[in-house]
Amino acid sequence: MNVLLIGDDSMIVDAMIDKFNKDNHRIYWLTGRKEKGISRKHVFEKYQFLYTDGNMKDIIESAAPDVILFMGAYDTNFDWRYNGQAEALRYTTSMVNLLSAYSMYGRGRFIYLSSQEVYDSSFANDIPETTAVSPRGFKAPAVSQGEGLCINYREIQGTDTVILRLDNIYHIPRKGQEIGSPCFEMCLEALKTGRISANRRKKFSMLYLNDAVELIYKVVMSEETAQPCYHISSMEEIDEFWLAELIGKKLGSGITISDHSAGEGRRRILDGRRFEEEFGQKIFHHYEEGVEKVVQFMKRYSETFIKDEEAGGGWSGKLRHNVKVIFKNAIPFIESIAGFAVFFWLDSHTVGSQYFDKLDFFLLYVLLFAIVHGQQQAIFSALLAAIGYWFRQSYDRSGYEVLLDYSTYVWMAQLFIVGMAVGYMRDHLRHVTDDKEEEIRYLYEKIEGIAVINDSNVRIKQNFETQLVNQRDSLGKIYEITSRLERYAPEEVLFYAAQMLGQLMDSKDVAIYLVANESYARLFSATSADARKLGNSIRYDAMEEMYGELRAGHVYINKEMNDKFPLVASAVYSDGQMQLILMLWGIPWQRMTLAETNRLTIIGTLIQNATVRASHYLENLRNQRYMEGTDVMTESAFSQLVHAFFEAKRKGLTECALLEVVTGDRSCDQAAAVLGDNIRSSDYIGVLEDGRLYVLLSNTDAENAKMVRERFARSGYESLLKEEAV
């Protein structure tokens, strides 16, 4: 089965991919994003398109899904925390486009995942599907509108859309990822603050993700659904305080629980009895087990969910975080101060040196930090250098004189100009370099994406090549199967031709009729009881509609679905005469197309080659197969024929009966001459190794054989029914 999953990368999508892969379904995935995301090795094809893309119909037709599963309320493409109004508009637009494309595709089932959020009130009893929704905010009304669209498409356009409302899904989160479930929120609060706030009057139920996936899968695999909407819920009531105590126990000591029970009670539990009655339901993960898994994971990887200043909510965590932030931001300034001390010492100890007297160490200091740290540190180092210059000049004259000297300001101006210019150039070059690196990184991602697409195309190409060779439409596949008829003895060809025809046409109900004369045809081989429903003998020329098509060399298609005719029929000719009529039932209406008729024509021609070759072979050996001057088959020929019929009977391909004739003192030739007038042309007379005379009745069961035995008795010959071949 082909399954199209619609939704961004999430734990729910991962769980559904794993489930469908384990059951050998072909998975297609529409991410709803243009950006390259994480690949999944079990996904046959991944589509990276927005839900509002104009090519959505082509995408769905390309996947040809039997089931479309849209994550809906659990789709992480939509971030409801910030601009909820814009997200609600985008969500509704996406739903309209997806459902429109699905309705134009015209087949398969569309499953929409909703949630308990569409109910915002309090309910004394569990909430059945018939209860009117009461959404608030931005997300809940948008999800509710999606439900309304699904129902409208089901009622107006007759599409197979199904809504599944899930009740408070909880699961082990990914590292650092926030999810909206009571269990996660309480665990996070406990890790951050060391306490959990809980309300005894707030009651609800939760459903573990793995259980939800199993229950969703039941709807996916069902042939039909009686209702447009189902609630999927564990129906196990729990309140916030009980959940908080359970989390506190699993986290260990040090967690306090604050009882904030006040105001009116609030109860919201979905009633899943409709789903349970129709599909059956069993919950494997109860609260003790499920909550423990979530708590243990979040406790183990707590550093990915909380920041240092939030850890435990204590002053030590906040102090640690503040120290880290201050130290990180102070490092360049500490380096600048340390560098200033070094260069001030060099400037002080090189005064009067013939080699370093003309060297301006303060200018070098500013240039160094402008090059290393940019414009900000250039300004700070220039300020330190100016202070150092003023302090050095104060050795020989007063500080007031230094401040009045215009050369001091000229020197400071050149220091700031050079430092800021170099710092600006450094920052600009860094930005250019970062942009180039980002562009290179982007191009590398493009190359990787092209490589992934190429690998995907190669895989699809190889898959289609395999299908081209192995699919039932392939001429090579058809010839490979029909050529197996050459392996059978001439007496067996028609029996196994029915079996081959059923395999190639993907039908369990196939019948082959032998044309006896210009009016009647007799059943030779059939693969099921339904294929025998027209009887052992038919007057085909009375079936005017079918006979007209067969006589013209066409394939007959039962467009009126008349139960007195096969769904599809074809005739096999030899030397201009109709020899066989191939009949098929159990073919879906959508497959009764021109392609199917062409396939049946080709298969019929290949079967004709095998059957005509077998009949010519048997005709050429007639002198060896029959006793001279009689219609009695020889021992070797008749034994082969009896064996072929009884083997076909054992495989359910035909009915037959073997009668032993009591000839008494009369010869076999005399008996055969008399009995030949009491049997059909499709029956056979012969002798076996015991020397006795036998009659093989084709397409005759034990009940019908009684009538033949009565006719034999009236002609003066008693007979015995043999249960198996002699």
Per-residue pLDDT reduced to its tens digit, 310-356: 544 445 545 665 677 677 778 888 888 888 888 878 777 776 666 66
Compute the CA torsion angle 326, 331, 335, 337 (nearest 10 deg): -10
Q: What is the pLDDT of residue 206?
A: 95
Task: Summarize the chain as % helix, strand, coil (round to 5).
Answer: 55, 15, 30
Q: How far apart are CA 258 and CA 342, in angstroms?
A: 58
Greatest mean pLDDT range, 182-191, 202-211, 387-396, 705-714: 202-211
Q: Of 241, 240, 237, 250, whose CA–CA distance to 286 is shortest?
A: 237
Residues spanned by CATH 3.30.450.40 within the chain?
Answer: 476-619
- Given a cut of 90, is residue 474 above it in pLDDT? no
Helix (H) or strand (E) holding 454: helix 406-470
- Given a cut of 60, is residue 101 above it in pLDDT? yes
Residues spanned by CATH 3.30.70.270 within the chain?
Answer: 623-722
- Given a cut of 90, is residue 451 above it in pLDDT? no
- Given a cut of 90, is residue 171 above it in pLDDT? yes
Q: What is the pLDDT of residue 160?
A: 94
Greatest mean pLDDT range, 96-105, 297-306, 423-432, 562-571: 96-105
Q: What is the pLDDT of residue 479?
A: 54
Residue for token digits 């009126």? 560
- State the CB neighbour count (10 A cutoff) for residue 109: 20
Amino acid at 11: M
pLDDT per position as a tens digit, 275-320: 999 999 989 899 999 999 999 998 888 877 776 445 444 455 456 6
Q: What is the pLDDT of residue 494?
A: 67
- Given a cut of 90, is residue 382 above it in pLDDT? no
Residue 621 — very low, low, confident or very high, per pLDDT cuts 50/70/90?
very low
Helical segments of 106-170, H only: 139-157
Q: How far apart are CA 659 and CA 713, in angstroms?
A: 12
Q: What is the pLDDT of residue 69?
A: 96
* Spatial contact of 717 and 671, defined as CB atoms under 8 Å apart: yes
What is each CA distance from 159 to 108, 153, 274, 381, in whole angstroms? 8, 6, 21, 73
Between 277 and 598, residue with greater pLDDT:
277
- Given a cut of 70, is residue 193 above it in pLDDT? yes
Q: How far apart are CA 568 and CA 583, in angstroms?
A: 6
* Spatial contact of 68 and 6, defined as CB atoms under 8 Å apart: yes
Q: Which residues pair with 515 in a beta bridge?
A: 521
Where on the phi/psi map is residue 652: left (φ > 0), alpha (ψ -120 to 50), or beta?
A: left
Q: How far apart are CA 679 and CA 683, in angstroms?
A: 6
Q: Of 689, 695, 710, whose CA–CA distance to 632 is shortest?
A: 695
Greatest mean pLDDT range, 129-143, 547-561, 593-607, 624-638: 129-143
Helical segments of 49-176, H only: 56-63, 84-105, 139-157
- Given a cut of 60, is residue 645 above it in pLDDT? yes
- Burial-class residue 726 by CB neighbours within 10 Å (0-12, 13-18, 19+): middle
Q: What is the pLDDT of residue 319?
A: 63
Fold of 623-722: Alpha-Beta Plaits (3.30.70)
Q: What is the pLDDT of residue 309?
A: 45
- Output the six-digit token pair for 108: 């398969």
Residue 210 — very low, low, confident or very high, per pLDDT cuts 50/70/90?
very high
Mean pLDDT on 58-86:
90
Q: How far apart are CA 542 and CA 551, in angstroms?
A: 13
Amino acid at 695: V
- Given a cut of 50, is residue 213 above it in pLDDT? yes
Helical segments of 311-405, H only: 315-349, 361-373, 375-393, 399-404
CATH class of 1-166: alpha beta
SS3 state of residue 651: coil
Q: What is the pLDDT of residue 314?
A: 46
Which CATH number is 476-619 given? 3.30.450.40
Number of H-type helices and E-type strands within the chain: 23, 25
Mean pLDDT on 500-526:
82
What mean pLDDT is reported for the chain? 82
Q: How far apart are CA 621 and CA 615, in angstroms?
A: 10
What does the DSSP assignment read for 170-196? Answer: E-PPPTT-----HHHHHHHHHHHHSEE
- The DSSP output letter for 626 is B
Greatest mean pLDDT range, 89-98, 396-405, 717-726: 89-98
CA angle 714, 716, 722 (to 5 degrees): 90
Q: What is the pLDDT of residue 313?
A: 43
Q: Which residues pair with 509 in a beta bridge?
A: 585
